[in-house]
Amino acid sequence: MMQLNWAPKNIPEILAATWQHLVLSVSSVLIGLVIALVLGIICARRPRFYAVVLTITGIIFVIPSLALFALLIPWLGLGTKPALVGLSSYCLLILLRNVVTGLRGVPADVLDAADGMGYSGWQRLVRIELPLALPLIVSGIRIALVTVIGIATVAAFIDGGGLGTIILMGIDQSYTEKILVGGILTALMATFFDLVLSQAEKALVRWR
């Protein structure tokens, strides 16, 4: 086993980077979720518009992360801003797909029943459609968050902070321990959210 020299003496720095990473990833997914919900609700009953939005978000998803960040720098400069914008645009495709699939999966007779009970369009959406789509939305959040936690390491390169900072430090100083600490903590964070959110997904399906 490798001897840890740097990590035990730098716990506060590691914790700060981990926290930064967490905040960056979670806020990116939340921003993405708000946009995806709005777009998803608009798109669910408009297949043509959905195809257009899907193409655009698909294009963003395919652009390599560092290139996407680099394309944002001329407009947004360095730091958290381009990191947040880049990361939240990344999860749009995943979140949008799940929101729309979830909303479309609501059975037609359920919708008819809601209409028959005199629900307005908005009431039907909030009380019937979104709750029924929730397991798929949560599944989208899980995949998006796991993806973003990984990509967020690259944000360190544009001064976005987070665990990538420790990995980059390790590369610059040829310090293996830092590379391992940064990489393993990122992997653990991704695994943790993967497990927790898949449990939540299961609980939601059972509750429904």
Partner 1 sequence: MLITAFNWIVNNQPEFLRALGQHLVMSGVSLAFALAIGLPLAVLIINRGGLAFTVINSINALRTIPSLAILAIMMPLLGIGLWPSIVALTVLALPPILLNAFIGLRDVDPDAVEAAIGMGMSRGQVLRKIRIPLAAPAMFAGARTAAVQVLAGATLAPFIGGGGLGDFIAVGISMMDMSRLLVGAVPIAILALATEFTLGLVEKVFFAERTSA
Residues near partner 1, by CB under 8 A: 59, 62-68, 70-71, 73-74, 78, 146, 149-151, 153-154, 157-158, 164, 167-168, 170-171, 174, 176, 179-180, 182-184, 186-187, 190-191, 194
Instruction: Report in angstroms how near the CB of residue 127 gets to partner 1 at its nearest.
Output: 37
CB of 191 to partner 1, least distance (A): 5
How long a stretch of residues is the chain?
Answer: 208
Nearer to partner 1, 34 or 171 (CB): 171
Please tell me the chain's helix, strand, coil percentages from 3-state DSSP, rounded to the nearest 5.
Answer: 85, 0, 15
Name the residue nearer to partner 1 (CB basis): 5 or 191: 191
Helices (H), 44-175: 47-62, 65-76, 80-104, 108-116, 121-123, 130-155, 163-173
Q: Which is nearer to partner 1, 119 or 175 (CB)?
A: 175
**73 closest CA partner among 12, 65, 8:** 65
User: DSSP secondary-structure letter at 74?
Assistant: H
Between CA 52 and CA 31 the distance in angstroms is 21
Cβ pair 91, 148 in contact under 8 A? yes
Whichever of 110 and 184 has its CB closer to partner 1, that residue is 184
Q: How far is the CB of 206 from partner 1 (least distance, A)?
A: 24
Least Å distance, CB 27 to partner 1, is: 18
| Residue 106 vs 149, nearer CB to partner 1 | 149
Q: Tell whether the torsion through CA atoms of 72, 79, 66 and 151 is positive or negative.
A: negative
Nearest approach, Cβ of residue 124 and partner 1 (Å)? 35
